[in-house]
Structure formats: structure tokens, C-alpha cells
Amino acid sequence: MKIGSKIRSLRQQSELTQEELAERAGLTKGFISQVERDLTSISLDSLLQILDALGMKISDFFEEIEKERIVYRIKDRVDLQKRNGVKGFSLLVPGSTNRLMEPVILTLGPNECTVMEEAHPGDELGYVLKGSVAVHFGKKAHKAREGACFYFTADRDHFIKNAGSTDAVILWITTPPAF
């Protein structure tokens, strides 16, 4: 949600007109109208005046905006340079290191593998979107082909290796975030 539409929503929840909010905030009705329609940018001072008039702290305002984000598009992904020994590594949700789990798309070339991770707290889940991989967990290797998934508590050393002759693509989710 954009700042303007969030302000409009808060104003309406407070059952205030634009004119009433403008008067309380020491701003003009026209300015409030333009802000709510995202037709003008807002200074920090003006935002603070509006939030004060609505009885809201700025930290709560932005926390609520962030919580409302549900859908992340391809353009939102963060491609990481050579991460964990792997070239093809994309964070699907920017800022997911501040959340309970972290989803990534991992692309492994033929014979490519992630670095060995030592045992750590948390769980890991992978879904093989393309190709096949060997999930090395402790002293055993488990093969997972396209359409299969793997899930384990990360209490043993582990890594993933491409077990095929073409690229392998995996949706990989860790909790807590590790990347």
C-alpha cells in the first residue's frame, strides 16, 4: 500500500474528513487530498504532523505498511552474487532475513553444489522445480528429482549437489533465515 492510500484509510477509520484532518495537522485540505491520491510527495515533517493528528507513531505506520505486502513479483527478487559457493541464488522476498523463514530460488549447474553447512538450529525445505539433486545430510545422500521435495531439521552437516547433466532449480526455504 502506498503512503497516500494508507493515510486515506487511517483518516477514514478515524471518521475524519480531509478538512478535519488538515485542520488538526495544520495543513491545507488541498494538500491532504493530493497526498491521499499520491499526486504529491510528502515531507517527513508533514507526515509527522498528519500521523500526530491521527494519533499514530511513525514506526507503527511503516510497520503496518510492510506487513500488508503479500505478493512479490519476479522484479522484487534479489539476485546474490556467488552465495554459498553457488552462482544462481535469488532471494524471493526482499528483507526475509527479518522474518521467520527465508525462501530462495537456487540454480545449480551440472556437478555444482552448495558449500557444506554445519549443523545449526532450524529446518530446511526444498522443492525441485527442474533437474535432479542429491541432498547430502549427515553421512547419507538422498536423491530428489523434479517434482520431489526434501525436508529436514538442520541438526547434521548438509549440502546439495546437482546430480544431473543439466541445471537444477530448487525452491529452498530455511527457518530461521540463513542467507
Question: The domain that contains 12 carries what CATH number?
Answer: 1.10.260.40
Question: What are the tens digits of pLDDT across the range 95-150?
Answer: 776 678 889 999 999 999 998 999 999 999 999 999 999 999 999 999 999 999 99
Measured in residues, the chain has a length of 179
Element (H or E) spanning 160, and its range? Answer: strand 158-162
Residue 96 near residue 102, CB atoms below 8 Å:
yes
85, pLDDT greater than 80: no
Percent of the chain with pLDDT over 70: 91
- Given 25, 43, 67, which residue is the final one in a domain? 67
pTM exceeding 0.85: no
Question: What are the tens digits of pLDDT across the range 5-39?
Answer: 889 988 888 888 999 999 999 999 999 999 998 88
What total number of domains does the chain contain?
2
In angstroms, the CA 158 to CA 152 distance is 10
Query: Is the domain of 34 the same as that of 51?
Result: yes
